[in-house]
Amino acid sequence: SIIIYVPMPKLKAFQKIQTRLVRELEKKFSGKHVMFVGERKILPKPTRKTRTKNKQKRPRSRTLTSVYDALLEDLVYPVEIVGKRIRVKLDGSQLIKVHLDKNEQTNIEHKVLFLFFFT
């Protein structure tokens, strides 16, 4: 599979033409899945030492969970995420189930198995 990182200001423009672009790139690289993902930055959690250094508050969009949620939305882009369940097992490992919109399921049906192994 091929994952292309796009700068955040250009992501909306890429998503407008993403279906055509992905189709053409998948023809060119036969047998490979192509996905566009926004290039996001995760800022570390402020601690006592870094609080004095950083005068600004950390934005919500730069937190770890926010970046991971946005990454998941980018991976399944043409389809909308309608639900998400997180199951924490006794050993501490997590199983994340993502429910996608049934109406647009045909758009991403061929990539579901790939996404299953990716996450």
Indicate the number of domains in the chain. 1
pTM over 0.75: yes
pLDDT digits 0-9 by tens, 44-96: 888 887 776 667 888 999 999 999 999 989 988 888 889 999 999 999 998 88
The answer to the question of residue 114 being in a domain is yes
pLDDT digits 0-9 by tens, 31-57: 788 889 999 999 988 888 777 666 788
The answer to the question of residue 94 being in a domain is yes
The answer to the question of residue 119 being in a domain is yes
> Closest Cα to residue 66, out of 99, 95, 41?
41
Measured distance between the N- and C-terminal CA atoms of the chain, rounded to whole angstroms: 13
Q: Whole domain around residue 96: which residue ranges? A: 79-119
Residues 88 and 94 sit within 8 Å (Cβ to Cβ):
yes
Encoded tokens for 11: 């992501």
Say if strands 34-39 and 2-7 run parallel, antiparallel, or are unpaired.
parallel
